[in-house]
A and B are shown apart, each in its own frame.
Chain A
Amino acid sequence: MTESNIPTPIWGKLDETVYEPAEDSFLLMDAFESEASQISRINPSIIVEIGVGSGVVTSFIRSLITSLNPSTTFINFGTDLNPSALAATLNTAKLNNQKIPELIQCDLLSPFLVRWKGLIDILIFNPPYVPTENEPLNHLERCYAGGPTGRDAVDRLIPSLSTMLSPSGIFYLVALKSNNISDIFEFASKHFLHGSIVLERRCGREYLYILKFVKSK
């Protein structure tokens, strides 16, 4: 593992329904660092995270982009279904002395499917990826429950994405081996997105991937 140039953000006490930063969160941050030159090159101004949880990933990407492109103004947007997660994200920004992100309580990108067409430079999603028999019934379950394939949320999101991303936009996604990476890539390519693996790692019982998608040529 390479030395991190950006410190891991600090976060406060979290409500039990908010996802506590874990290996997948840190793997995502490592992936961003390994993608630093790509991210810098696209000079992003609109960054969106779906499912902000504790807010650490949004905080981290903000710090990274600020250090890479110090003279660029950019906005971090974040969405989440859980109001406790949104509140936690505001708090995380304050604890790390950052400008607060623009947060909206909603499902995926639903309210923005028209307005944000072609505008998103970086999209980030650490979804509920655990394969579960049933749909989630509450905020706690929504942190991890992804339905039988673990891909309920991802499969709902992917079809609209190629129109949402800016021409050089990048979508970063966390996935489990059991989500079936090649299936995800195939599904994405049907929706005009080209996927690749940025980083992968065994974390305890799980084998995790950080995937990236760009618009197909």
Chain B
Amino acid sequence: MLQKVEYPVLAEAAKVTNIENLEIPNELPSDWENNETFLNVAYKLLNCINVVEGELECPETGRKFIIRDSIPNMLANEDEVES
């Protein structure tokens, strides 16, 4: 699973949510497959934490997508769609 995750993005998102008592490395440790401490952190990030209310921000355009009840709304607005 971790191989399919863009870890630096996950770490950045996790830091923004300010979870207490969780040491989140910025980069995937080179020994990640065997690093128990890291694997526990990764497990928590992937499976135990859920953004219920918030927003996703596109790093390129700054466009924000609102998250409500755990679900982001990523519908394009009319002016964003090519006709």
Contact present for B4 and A111 (CB under 8 Å): no
Chain B: interface size category: 10 to 19
For the complex formed, measure the closest distance between the CB of A169 and the CB atoms of chain B, giving whole angstroms: 12
Nearest chain-B residue to A112 (Cβ)?
Answer: B74
Contact present for A105 and B75 (CB under 8 Å): yes
Q: Which of B14-22, B29-37, B65-73 contacts A (4 or more CB under 8 A)?
A: B65-73
Contact present for B1 and A110 (CB under 8 Å): no
Give the interface centre of B1, B4, B71 by most chain A CB atoms within 10 Å.
B71
Nearest chain-B residue to A111 (Cβ)?
Answer: B74
Q: Which of B59-83 contact A (CB under 8 A)?
A: 69-76
A141 to B75, CA, bound (A): 18
| Chain B neighbourhood of A147, CB < 8 A | none
Contact present for B4 and A119 (CB under 8 Å): yes
Nearest chain-A residue to B58 (Cβ)?
Answer: A111
Contact present for A106 and B75 (CB under 8 Å): yes
Q: Does A199 contact B (CB under 8 A)?
A: no
| Chain B neighbourhood of A14, CB < 8 A | none
| Chain A neighbourhood of B1, CB < 8 A | 45, 73-75
Contact present for A106 and B74 (CB under 8 Å): yes
A105 to B73, CA, bound (A): 5
Contact present for B71 and A86 (CB under 8 Å): yes
Q: Does A81 contact B (CB under 8 A)?
A: yes
Contact present for B4 and A104 (CB under 8 Å): no
Contact present for B74 and A87 (CB under 8 Å): no
Interface residues in chain A, defined as those with a beta carbon under 8 Å from any beta carbon in chain B: 45-46, 73-75, 81, 83, 86-87, 90, 99-100, 103-107, 110-111, 119
In the complex, besides A74-B1, A87-B71, 9 extra interface pairs with C-beta distance below 8 angstroms are A45-B1, A46-B4, A73-B1, A86-B71, A104-B72, A104-B74, A105-B71, A106-B74, A110-B74
13 A-B pairs within 8 Å (CB atoms) are namely A46-B4, A73-B46, A74-B1, A83-B73, A86-B71, A87-B71, A104-B71, A105-B72, A105-B73, A106-B73, A106-B75, A107-B75, A110-B74
Interface residues in chain B, defined as those with a beta carbon under 8 Å from any beta carbon in chain A: 1, 4, 46-47, 50, 69-76
